[in-house]
Structure 1
Amino acid sequence: MTISEVSEKFGITQDTLRYYERIGLIPHVNRNKSGIRDYTEEDCNWIGFIKCMRSAGLPIEVLIEYVGLFQQGDETIKVRKGLLIEQRNQLMARIEEMKKTLNYLNHKIETYDQLVVVEQGLKREE
């Protein structure tokens, strides 16, 4: 796949794809005879993984570390798993904080809804 096809498929700019490749998030991308990037299914799997992890809030540095560990081979499986567990725990904590924020927002909205009902009732009495 060309960079434009991959960009469209994942909703990521071509510049972002080049950046991810430059910093090592996407392991070596092959190029055709003309020097144009030729993304494989494996490359696309990495991009899907990165996009998912980034949308969950994982820092670029953590992903770079993970990819580097992956490239070192199976002897890093325990370390990679530990890294993912740590990130999952951090994500769960953020989700809990977001739930609290959502509950607070819902409470505020309900309070305003009650004020609107009271205000409308007063206007009817006039």
Structure 2
Amino acid sequence: MKIAEVSKRYGVSTDTLRYYERIGLLRHVPRNGSGIRDYDEASCNAVEFVKCMRDAGMSIESLVEYMELIDQGDSTREARKELLARQSIAIRERIADLERALERLQYKIDHYDDIMADSERALRPEE
């Protein structure tokens, strides 16, 4: 699959895909006889994984570290698991932060509902 097809399929720009390859996130993208990238299933799986982890907020540095660990083989399984566990904790902390922000927003919305209801009552003539 050519880079433009991969870009469209995963919603990642071709520049980003080239950057990911340059910094080591996409390590084994095959090339055809003319030197043009020809993504295979494994490369597409790597793109999908990187995109998922970036969408989850994982840093480029952590992803590079993770991919380096994969290349080092099975002996790094525990280290990879720990890296992903740290990412899981970070996501849970972000979710908690977002839930607190949502609660605060809802409080403000409810507050405005109360103020507007009070204003409407004040404008209505006594019955």
How far off its partner does 1:116 sit?
A: 1.7
TM-score (normalised: structure 1) = 0.94
Distance 1:108 1:80 in 2: 42
Q: Which structure 2 residue ranges, 5 or more long, are not aligned? A: none
Percentage of identical aligned residues: 49
2:73 aligns with: 73
Distance 2:114 2:33 in 1: 68
Local SS of the residue matching 2:104: helix
Distance 1:125 1:41 in 2: 72
Local SS of the residue matching 1:125: coil
Cα deviation digits, residues 67-107 of structure 1 (max 9, x gap):
00000000000111111111111111111111111111111
Give the aligned length.
Answer: 126
Provide runs of 4+ in structure 1 moved above 3 Å.
none
How far off its partner does 1:37 sit?
A: 0.8
Distance 2:118 2:12 in 1: 48
Alpha-carbon RMSD across the aligned residues, in angstroms, is 1.3
TM-score (normalised: structure 2) = 0.93
